[in-house]
């Protein structure tokens, strides 16, 4: 299973793509699109400060042009919730950020018809054991830092994990690197792991759930710079 490459403004950011996650308002959505994000992420988990109700999300999706992929971030969603969500918001990708098994990932894909991104919470090498079981179940993988023990939500804490745990990692499906990325450490992440997709949320915020336009511009400018440099590298 593969994800079709976007064909509109974000193509200029290749050879890696950017997912801007935790978007909550029309202006941030419009700016992320303008700056060339390939994926727009929306959190559908009520405890998160970035939570967007499905009804509100439907309105935001109306502003997303063809070719930019929309991602709904969920945590162990029930079938009933997914049905309600997709009735209001026709998303391209469902991100499963909970404790979903490969069997549940496969079932969600079959039930909804959406592509599925499975988030893997990484804190130590043991967290990557059994990863291959998701290769046939998911369309994409996302590696994020394991949240603090007392965290009320599983992602978006601005914490990186030890990237050395993924050194040399390859997979037969696209994957994204998340966890504490910002304009200051993006180059190190891209150069050390060469991820197909990078995912930014808190690194372009002035506060939880509030995107900072200038931080977003700086991050996307750095992504373009790094993308252009990678495109010039010999195969």
Using DSSP's 3-state secondary structure scheme, residue 67 falls into coil
Question: Of residues 92, 114, 139, 144, which has the active-site annotation?
Answer: 144
Phi and psi, residue 100, nearest 5°: -60, 135
Check if 7 is active-site.
no
Quote the tokens at residue 211. Answer: 């995107």
DSSP codes joined into one string, 91-116: -SEEEE-SS--HHHHHHHHHHH--EE
The CA distance from 47 to 147, in Å, is 14
Task: Please give the DSSP secondary-structure letter assigned to residue 90.
Answer: -
- In the residue annotation, 114 being an active-site residue is answered as no
Measure the CA–CA gap between 206 and 176, rounded to whole angstroms. Answer: 23
Interatomic CA distance for residues 203 and 9, integer angstroms: 22
Token code pair at residue 62: 């109306």
Active-site annotation holder among 21, 139, 182, 199: 21
CA–chain centroid gap for 3, Å, is: 13
How far the first Cα of the chain sits from its last, in Å, is 25
Which residues are part of the catalytic machinery?
21, 144
């Amino acid at each position: 299973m593969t994800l079709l490459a976007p064909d509109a403004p974000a193509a200029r950011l290749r050879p890696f793509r950017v997912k801007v996650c935790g978007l909550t308002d029309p202006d941030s959505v419009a700016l992320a699109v303008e700056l060339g994000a390939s994926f727009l992420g929306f959190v559908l988990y009520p405890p998160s400060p970035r939570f967007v109700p499905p009804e509100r999300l439907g309105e935001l999706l109306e502003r997303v042009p063809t070719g930019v992929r929309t991602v709904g971030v969920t945590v162990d969603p029930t079938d009933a919730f997914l049905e309600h969500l997709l009735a209001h918001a026709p998303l391209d990708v469902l991100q499963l950020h909970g404790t979903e098994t490969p069997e549940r990932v496969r079932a969600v894909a079959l039930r909804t018809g959406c592509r599925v991104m499975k988030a893997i919470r990484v804190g130590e090498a043991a967290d990557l054991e059994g990863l291959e079981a998701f290769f046939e179940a998911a369309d994409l993988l996302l590696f994020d830092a394991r949240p603090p023990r007392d965290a009320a939500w599983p992602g978006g804490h601005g914490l990186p994990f030890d990237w050395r745990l993924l050194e040399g990692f390859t997979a037969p499906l696209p994957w994204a690197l998340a966890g504490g990325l910002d304009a200051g450490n993006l180059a190190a992440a891209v150069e050390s792991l060469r991820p197909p997709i990078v995912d930014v949320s808190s690194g372009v915020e002035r506060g939880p759930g509030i995107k900072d336009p200038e931080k977003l511009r700086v991050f996307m400018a750095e992504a373009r710079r790094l993308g252009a440099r990678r495109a010039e590298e010999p195969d």
